[in-house]
Amino acid sequence: MKSGFRGILIVVLVVIVLAVFVFSNYNGLVASEEAVNSAWSQVENQLQRRMDLIPNLVSTVKGYAAHEEEIFTEVARAREKLFGAGSLSEMADADRELSGALSRLIAIAENYPQLKADANFRQLSDELAGTENRIATSRMDYNNAVQSYNTKIRRFPTVIIAGIFGFEKKDYFNAAEGAGQVPSVDF
């Protein structure tokens, strides 16, 4: 009789411990996944911010250097590519291309002293440089969040909970090297 009671007590205790274990791990995973999502929304915000800057920038440069058509097409093409990107790695590649195209667009100011001196252009290129820097920052934050999340779902014992509730590995937002370069003109 006594030993039966003790048996039940042990079972109850084990169940409680297990439940606490599952809950805390599950909640930790949810928090970690949310951190990844929120970091991603920052990346998207900053990418959008750059998209919004492009028309102004292009039209300002066109005002002084209308015949540099090659670079304008290049920017437009990279912009379209980013819009149409499906996967994260496609997006990262398109992002790098657009960064490169925009930095070349800014750099042609070296050949047009009037453009370089234009207050509007300077302001826009500061906005662009700032936005590129924000993109780099938010990308780094996102990748750090993904790293901590991915580590968590592979680590014991959370790996069990992740398996049961279907938490999946997330992709990094990585382009090839040189992606984070800030386009800059030394004024």
Residues 19-38 that bind other proteins (CB under 8 A): 34-35, 37-38
Is residue 110 part of the contact set for other proteins (CB under 8 A)? Answer: no
Contact between 129 and other proteins by CB under 8 A: the answer reads: yes
Contact string 55-74 vs other proteins (x = CB under 8 A): -x------------------
d(CA 181, CA 171): 22
Q: Which of 46, 63, 49 is nearest to 120 (CA)?
A: 63
> Where does this chain touch other proteins (CB under 8 A) — which range of 68-76, 83-91, 136-144, 154-162?
136-144
Minimum Å gap between C-beta 130 and other proteins is: 3
What burial class does residue 128 get, using C-beta atoms within 10 Å of its C-beta: 0-12 exposed, 13-18 middle, 19+ buried? buried
Question: Quick one: 22 or 183, whose CB is closer to other proteins?
Answer: 183
Q: By CB under 8 A, tell whether 136 contacts other proteins.
A: yes
Residue 116 interacts with other proteins (CB under 8 A): yes or no = no
Size of the site for other proteins (CB under 8 A): 37
Nearest residue (CB) to other proteins, 10 versus 31: 31
Spatial separation of the C-alpha atoms in residues 66 and 83, rounded to whole Å: 25
Q: Which residues contact 14 (CB under 8 A, 6 or more apart)?
A: none
183 binds other proteins (CB under 8 A): no
Residues 6+ apart with CB under 8 A from 176: 93, 96
Q: How far is the CB of 18 from other proteins (least distance, A)?
A: 28
What does the alpha-carbon distance between residue 128 and residue 105 come to, in Å, rounded to a whole number? 11
